Structure 1
């Protein structure tokens, strides 16, 4: 699929010049810093040297004092406390962190994860009923609850209090909880708004520790879980999240908790881990527990105190992940066949596919794969509990949630954000929804948004890639949303020696420019260009600069994102 190459506009020249002089770096690197909102030496120091002192005061968060007061009362009265969280990576890491921290202070505590298939996302009536029937008087809800107005009202009638720790956007009405910790509340003055659900749980632990003179090390012990949630929930890696991601990666690579260490060993991926390694190696395994069976298995692993228990849980989760992969591949193949054999569907600006036998736990993954393939807003639907459940994914710059709002009268419920959402409807509404979704998206999406873009930070010469440049470039990590790995453009490069395919359809080659060294390159999925990649034929490349480790040898490698010939 053809992609648009978009070169970022140059940042303010005066800011770039000042940064380059103050930091003694190239204007290319200074320009990249300016694009990240950095304008002076102190801001650059904060960016390049994140540390625990950069974490914000947790009591700046609205209702934090109320939350600590209620927890103190619960512990003093030996109330039964439930730690409640969603079944994805953010939810399970949040539950594991909060449960582990407070279990050391209060024995009368349990955790609860709703069943994906029986209870669905968020606060469930079944969960509240379980709490009331078993004598729980306080629920600390993580990564969910901000829109559960009716559910919290119901809990109040049963004498069950709620502390909500959420990071999603509130609705017009806040639930009647004892405390609501959510930086996105309109009345919350907390300086950083993009924490993960697990991050909110960490701030709660930090606040409790500060109140009770508990050493900070008992909070920082959970930085690895916070980093996993940040990576896998695709939240911004800026500000406080970048600090937590950086410190969390250090812990993952140097001293992970037993559960994370076990998962790393089972995955076969050795340290050092990057954010990308967490997303593709640890995240799918943690998620697989709730997708295939019971997300409590993931929590059991992450709270493990003994290596034997952790190994048992880790192997179980790994089996679930293998099962998930099978479902994923089968459903993806079936969905691709549905689309490719339907001339009408191929010509649309949206994809909506349904099969009542598809496994609900993996349709979100399939929706992502279909979006990558056809690059348009996509909804994958299956049958679940008498209704039709779906996962939706969007393309860069297009607000999927707003499009679903335009279909709300056809839906039983929906929720999510700009790029990903979940929805349910009655079976008889499938065709009407598909038609409406196509109508809404078709009238609001631009042609440009339907063509995948490669956003390029700067044009450079291969000779610019020298040790100091690469060393500073590495300090821009950890990478993720709002701080993506830089992509560079180099024009008129040439193949040096032989270009070939590896792993099926991936290009492996060396490239040079006049006066430069030869750089090893890998171009994933770019095999179609191989016939033209011959010596003495110039072409342009856009790429990320990476370190490749092979048999303990470290070399610079260009990860090619796009290839362009003059014709």
Structure 2
């Protein structure tokens, strides 16, 4: 699926902003693209360590929460921290437990089992905690949607809720509800993750109980904040910036052990290390094991114990990957009997699909089809529990709110959410969600976009430019890594590299100098790069090897250049079909990607571009003559006795 470039116009104000900040004009342009217009705001962005923290007591109910926790500590009451099973919940739980202990309490913690209990408060857990002596329960990263359960526990349990998820129509009648998204909360920074809200509670406790300014433990906050994909702006940016800087030498043995088992060798960690290396291992505990394992790791004092727990998480993550591939295959088989290309949204369900993994499968399906996707697990209790992932243009929480009549429970954000429906309501919910998606999204919304902030030929890169870009880190939601673009370039020397020859390396640039380009997991494009003009989207970086520094491009996207975009006519489609038929007759199926097919066709018949081949494959799929797997790395022709009517293909019809 080709991506549409989203480019930015030159902003007139960038020259003035650059002069006032003493930075390059193009860097000022990148700041303005992110909505950072003022000199003071830009100064904090470029130097996150100078960003001041807001007074935690600006949060509604913070004073009540602190007063009750102080009372519980002074009276030696039993305090239980009630967390969530994702990285945000685990890091929030560990952070609060760690600080309550330092402040003189002896707290315990409880995290529900994802499979048996689901997200958030559950009645049995709250009742058992009350019966076993808990007098004060403090939630972290959950609780805002549990209005009925909180009301039921009145008189049995004092409850303080700290959360960052969007509230429903009414707030739980807890002793205190600390959530910046409350309509009556004046706290200026609304984008905190659950662990960020917990951090503000810790700041308030240290300020109130010890008259101290609390700025420690930010590596725990960075873990949960990056993993929960909240905007890395404002306080989040400062917390993540400082937390990443401290991770390698963290006082938490568990974090150091996690870095070791993830084999992160770079001295300086970045947000990608957390999002793609550390967070998946922690999340594996809550997905297919017990989230307590993750909390135990983060709270571990002893090096040997931390190393053992980190290894257990690493093994769980490997198991999670295998389960994910199995469910993905089953989802692919289910969708093969439908027409996902024509669906406004994808909603599928399978018997006993692992609830801890279906969110990742939903993300994979979004990557493949670029449609809002909900993957649900049909459980033995008659409930379908699902994970939701959205695309730009559809606010998932609001979409689910429009389907409320078919839903038992839901909660989440704009791009991701969780939902539960009764099995008997599944079809009605599916139809309602697809209808809402159709009404909220336009045809344009279904075209994947890629932001290109600067069109620049690779040979124009300099070391100074790349080093100046580092001022914008850490990258994440609200502050994406800047991507550059160049059109109709020719690569040379394209070849597969890596232990499994899965990555692509080639050279770009003019006579003044060649620069290496790397495209992870796309070695199938080697023949295309050597034969065609391409449009390339990339991020510049510096490679250091054996003491030698060189510039390189990390490719984000490669697409056919304009001169290669030749749409196939009827005669060429017949040629492509015959070519595919011969492969299937010989090999039993067609085990090649579109890029590999284009190269093979060019060698066996005559030159054909990747664009032309891809359009042909798309037309055959729309006519139900061809099927592909989710990765589009293999195809199979379908038996049919019908004559090929090309105008029945939407793609062919649109081009004629």
Q: Tell me the TM-score normalized by structure 2.
A: 0.81
Question: Of the candidates 167, 186, 189, which is equivalent to residue 186 of structure 2?
Answer: 189
What's the offset of the Cα at 1:171?
Answer: 1.9
Contact (CA 8 Å) 2:340, 2:369: kept in 1 or not? no
Cα distance change of structure 1 residues 423 and 189 upon mapping to structure 2, 3 Å threshold: same
Q: 3-state DSSP class of the match of 2:300? A: coil
Q: Counterpart in 1 of 2:418?
A: 422
Larger radius of gyration: 2
CA contact (8 A) 2:385 2:421 kept: yes
Give yes or no for the alignment of 1:67 onto 2:62.
no
Report if the CA contact (8 A) 1:459-1:489 is conserved. yes
**Structure 2: tracts of 5 or more residues without a match:** 564-656
Give the equivalent residue in structure 2 for 1:46.
Answer: 44
Residue 3 of structure 1: CA displacement?
Answer: 0.9
Q: 1:299 is matched with which residue?
A: 295
* 1:225 counterpart (213, 216, 220): 220
Structure 1 residue corresponding to 2:435, chosen from 414, 439, 454: 439
Aligned partners of 2:484, 2:433: CA distance in 1, in Å? 37
Answering whether residue 517 of structure 2 is matched by residue 521 of structure 1, we say yes
Give the aligned partner of residue 123 of structure 2: 125
Please report how far the alpha carbon of residue 332 of structure 1 lies from its aligned counterpart in structure 2 after TM superposition: 1.0
Quote the residue 2:366 is aligned against.
371
Secondary structure in structure 2 of the residue aligned to 1:5: strand
**Distance in 1 separating the partners of 2:310 and 2:44:** 37
Which secondary structure state, in structure 2, belongs to the residue aligned with residue 92 of structure 1?
Answer: helix
Shift of residue 44 of structure 1? 2.6
C-alpha separation between the residues in 1 aligned to 2:372 and 2:147? 30
1:526: Cα distance to partner? 4.5
Any conservation in 1 of the 2:96–2:202 contact (CA below 8 Å)?
yes
Cα pair distance change 1:554/1:307, threshold 3 Å: farther
- SS of alignment partner, residue 248 of structure 2: helix
Q: Unpaired runs of 5+ in structure 1?
A: none
Give the C-alpha shift of residue 215 in structure 1: 5.0
Contact 1:224 1:256 in 2 (8 A): no
- Give runs of ≥4 in structure 1 deviating > 4 Å: 525-529, 549-554
Give runs of aligned pairs for residues 235-274 of structure 1, distance below 5 A. 235-255=230-250, 257-270=252-265, 271-274=267-270
Please state if 1:7 is matched with 2:7. yes
Aligned CA-pair RMSD: 2.1
Helix, strand or coil at the partner of 1:268: coil
236-245 or 219-228, which moves further after superposition? Answer: 219-228
Query: How many angstroms does 1:24 deviate by?
Result: 3.8
CA contact 1:258–1:302 (8 Å) conserved in 2:
yes
Query: How far has the Cα of 1:429 moved from its partner?
Result: 2.6
1:542 aligned onto 2:537: yes
Q: For residue 286 of structure 1, what is the aligned residue in structure 2?
A: 282
Which residue, 21, 24, 40 being the options, matches 1:23?
Answer: 21
Partner Cα separation in structure 2 for residue 229 and residue 542 of structure 1:
30
Q: Secondary structure at the match of 1:297?
A: helix
CA distance in 2, matches of 1:289, 1:37: 37
**Structure-2 change in CA distance of 1:311 and 1:4 (3 Å):** same
Task: Tell me: higher relative CO, structure 1 or 2? Use CA pairs within 8 A at least 6 residues apart.
Answer: 1
Q: Whole-Å Cα distance in 1 between the matches of residues 417 and 41 of structure 2?
A: 35
Aligned to 2:619: none
What does residue range 100-111 of structure 1 map to in structure 2 within 5 Å?
A: 100-111=98-109
In structure 2, relative to structure 1, the CA distance for the partners of 1:114 and 1:542 (3 Å cut) is same
Residues 93 and 226 in structure 1, CA contact (< 8 A), matched pair in contact too: yes
Q: 1:488 and 2:487 equivalent?
A: no
TM-score of the superposition, structure 1-length normalised?
0.93
Per-residue CA shift, 1:184-229, capped at 9, x if unaligned?
Answer: 111211121101111111111111112233654xx43311110011
Q: 1:352 aligns with which of 343, 347, 351?
A: 347
Kept in 1: contact 2:486–2:535 (CA 8 A): yes
- Secondary structure (helix, strand or coil) at the match of 2:387 reads strand
Tell me, what secondary structure is at the counterpart of 2:23? Answer: coil
Q: Distance in 1 between matches of 2:391 and 2:239?
A: 28
Question: Is the 1:492–1:513 Cα contact (8 Å) retained in structure 2?
Answer: no
What is the count of residue pairs matched by the alignment? 558
- Is the partner of 2:419 in helix, strand or coil? strand
